[in-house]
Structure 1
Amino acid sequence: MRKTRKCAFCGKEFTCNSGSQRYCSEHCAEAAKAQRKKKQQDFLKAVQPVIDIASQEYLTFSKAAILMGCSRQYVYKLVNEGKLPASRISSRMAFVRKADIEKMLAGNPYHRVLPGTPTNKPCKTSSSLSSRKDKNQIDESPMRLVEPLEYISGEDVMATYKVKKSWLYVSAKRNNIPVCKIAGKNYYSRKHMDALFGVTAEIEALTEWLTTDEAETLYSTTKESLRTQAYRRHIPTKREYGKTYYSKIHLDEIYHPDLKASDDYYTTAEAARKYGMTKSNICVIVKTNNLTKVKVGVQNLIVKEELDRIMASRLAQFGAYRLQ
């Protein structure tokens, strides 16, 4: 009597002709073979970058992220905070040494400390294990206790630091904030919350803040430009209830709304409309005659007096040429 089996690819039952038959048809056998080959190719594609990185000493940020198993943005964050040294070769190229990554990881071992428990002792190496004390001998070294923490409720955290409930949960989990649960409510360590959500004295001294939409309207810019300027020029920002606020004083120093409102300057578009030219023509005239140009955000401001003088001389030359 012939045996019935389940196909290893499609799962259908079939009557096998031999004891080694695993597939119900040649089609399933070929499909399973193609699937195995694709898995091997995918594995090689995933492993090849790691093999290449193993033989390199200087890594780009992308390769450093692959080596550390994190995102490229997190590598930028480590470099920006000064935790990981990096060398800039040009405006678009920077490298990280593999030795610096290993040094950073070796200098920051993971020690998990729970509230109210003694600090964990570092793991013993093989050399220390060989010189282990007798089991019957009592270790008389004093036990150092962790400083007791002060806890506040989740509602107090949201009211004090102006954060949303979802952001509170995510941040507490991501940063390993000590938390305890009492009567169904979460209580968080005030000390750790101050370090995570607290503001500096510089930010507390600022009184004028703009939301992203307000800054876009006031300075005629974009969200991407605001984020870029805040990152590059270290503009103070704060986040309240899921909204990002930018310091108005610092943005005024970059976008100069007083210059844009002044009658002493043209924008490129205004000059092009006045003289019936394209913006490219105006840019060429400004560059050729070395006119004063002030960059305000994404716009260039041109001194009216200088541009009017140059255009008047050009019109005079054009008129003399026509008379000839």
Structure 2
Amino acid sequence: MGCQEVANMMGISRATVHRYCATGKFRCVRLNRKIFIRKKDIDALFDNAEPYEVMPANRAPITEFYTMQEITEKFEVSESTVYNMAIAKQIPKVLSQGKTIYSKKHIDRHFARKLPDPQVAEWYTVEEIREKYNMSVSAVYSFTSEYGIPRKKSRGKTYYSKSHTDQHLKMRRPDPKIKEWYSMNDIVALYNFAPGYVSNLIYKNPIPKIRRGNKGYYSKEHFDRLVREKQLVPEYYTVEEAMAKYNLTRDTLYHHIRYNNVPKIKDGRYIKISKPELDAIFEQPITI
């Protein structure tokens, strides 16, 4: 019999048959890179087999249990949470005087991994974070997940560490001394900067900012000072100037603008292209 026939007959995999041959459990012969096993050698395994004995499990009996009420009070979870968790984690349980009780050791072990940091004394709800820092619900969840803010669950509500949240979000709170703010549209209209250029400036410089709804606002005083100190004057090519400098057709130039997201503005009837961003594209070294 071939290996596949033996595997099918015994309900094992072909790899197991090969392993039994290699370890000497099956007597076999190899002919032309194929392995053959006699059926009578397989039968002989069962003729001389030792009686199968079930090894008793040396497990200590469970003597301590929780009632459902004790679990919900101690760990501040709902009954449905306990019920679903006991099924998912296969928590040992027994019926006593008409009530289901659960293994204390297994319950404690499960909730020990979920207990909050004992050093955290104050907690925020999601609503409190939203109100204090003017964030949306999805923004709160994204923030707490990204920065790994310690959390706990109690009575179906999730709470987040106040100290950790404040530490990361304190820069979002506006300085009460700042009275005037720019929106992105204000800056673009006033300085004729491309939005991408403005975002890059704000990212690289410590401009105080706040959020109102889903819009960002930037300190007017700090941004104006940055423009004065760095003498930021936007530089642009006209389409004709860019075509002439880099020897491009109009279609090729527009392709580079779209593909590389080069900032551009419209000045009357004319389109102007950001000079630094376009120069950066064509001044990159060519690697072969």
Q: Scaled by the length of structure 2, what TM-score is found?
A: 0.50
1:224 aligned onto 2:135: no
8 Å Cα contact 2:183/2:217 also seen in 1: no
- Is residue 90 of structure 2 the alignment partner of residue 173 of structure 1? no
Q: Shift of residue 229 of structure 1?
A: 2.7
- For 1:286 and 1:306, the matched residues in 2 are separated by 14
132, 145, 148: which one aligns with 1:234? 148
CA contact (8 A) 1:210 1:245 kept: yes
Matched, 1:193 2:107: yes
> What amino acid sits opposite 1:184 in the alignment?
G
**AA aligned opposite 2:83:** Y
**What is the one-letter code of the residue matched to 1:187?**
I
Contact conserved, 1:294 with 1:300, CA < 8 A, in 2?
A: no
The unaligned stretches of length 5 or more in structure 2 are 1-42, 234-288
1:72-221 mapped onto 2 (5 Å cutoff): 132-134=49-51, 143-149=56-62, 150-198=64-112, 203-221=117-135
Q: Which moved more, 1:304-313 or 1:149-158?
A: 304-313
Q: Which has the higher contact order (CA 8 A, sep 6+)?
A: 2
Partner of residue 287, structure 1: 200
CA distance in 2, matches of 1:127, 1:222: 73
Higher Cα Rg, which structure: 2
Mark the runs of 5 or more structure 1 residues left unpaired by the alignment.
Answer: 1-125, 318-324
> Distance between the aligned counterparts of 2:73 and 2:207, measured in 1?
47
Cα distance in 2 for partners of 1:265, 1:184 equals 67
Task: Kindly indicate whether the alpha-carbon contact (under 8 Å) linking 1:266 and 1:301 is maintained by their aligned counterparts in 2.
Answer: no
Cα deviation code 1:235-294 (max 9, x no counterpart): 2111111111111112112222x6513246689xx3139968669967744535853246
State the match for 1:309 in structure 2: 225
Calculate percent identity across the aligned residue pairs: 21
Q: Tell me, what secondary structure is at the counterpart of 1:152?
A: strand
Contact 2:93 2:100 in 1 (8 A): yes
**1: distance between equivalents of 2:46 and 2:210?**
66
Q: Distance in 2 between matches of 1:288 and 1:171?
A: 50
What residue is the counterpart of 1:246 in the other structure?
160
In 2, the alpha carbon distance for the partners of 1:220 and 1:248 equals 16
Superposed CA RMSD:
4.3
